[in-house]
A and B are shown apart, each in its own frame.
Chain A
Amino acid sequence: DVKVTQSSRYLVKRTGEKVFLECVQDMDHENMFWYRQDPGLGLRLIYFSYDVKMKEKGDIPEGYSVSREKKERFSLILESASTNQTSMYLCASSPTGTGNTIYFGEGSWLTVV
């Protein structure tokens, strides 16, 4: 079974802190994604990566950055956390090509106080 693992399920951080959300996939997928899930807004793409060290902005990249140094690992970084970044963050991966299933992790609930 494909497994996308998000190391932190629940985090509480203070405003202004630097936050790292880590994600690892075990299926040698080329593509990895970070989505944010908010009620009524669905899943919004923050960043995606189609290869090591390659990244592209999604629909809501402001306030976030990413890092992909190894194929299996994709990190989301909040440089200076703000309360409006309180949300559920979902990491996902997929093999190359459109029409391929995107596999999601179980999510990281981030609360910024």
Chain B
Amino acid sequence: QQQVKQSPQSLIVQKGGISIINCAYENTAFDYFPWYQQFPGKGPALLIAIRPDVSEKKEGRFTISFNKSAKQFSLHIMDSQPGDSATYFCAAGLGSGNTGKLIFGQGTTLQVKP
């Protein structure tokens, strides 16, 4: 019930295309859903996050779509660029307590071809 399942494991997209990464969760207590971006040799860094009271959040070329009833959320990268090539992790935060603990998905390696 604590798992977050992420797909696909890897993704290759042409420059200018749309990259879509999907995540699913089971625990309805989760109330915070961030996406992290990790470049080779670096630690993950927060990219964008959403709470379940909205269905979509957009920041530049990055959009999170959230479907509370289906317990799914996804990251869309519009006009994908070679500089977007990285590993992306979805995550979910537990609603109780103040620990800020996150449960991460398995990760998606994105390659954007020029």
**A residues with CB within 8 A of B:** 4, 30-31, 33, 35, 39-45, 48, 50, 56, 58-59, 90, 92, 94-107
Contacts and interface: CB of A to CB of B under 8 A. Distances in A.
Nearest to A33: B101
B6 A42 contact: yes
Contacts, number: 76
Nearest to B94: A98
B51 to A, nearest CB: 7
B42 A98 contact: no
A83 B102 CA distance: 27
A40 B32 contact: no
Interface residues of B, number: 30
B98 A40 contact: no
Interface of B: 2, 6, 9, 31-32, 34, 36, 41-46, 49, 51, 89, 93-95, 97-107
Nearest to A6: B43
Contacts of B106: 40-42
A98 B97 contact: yes
Contacts of B34: 101
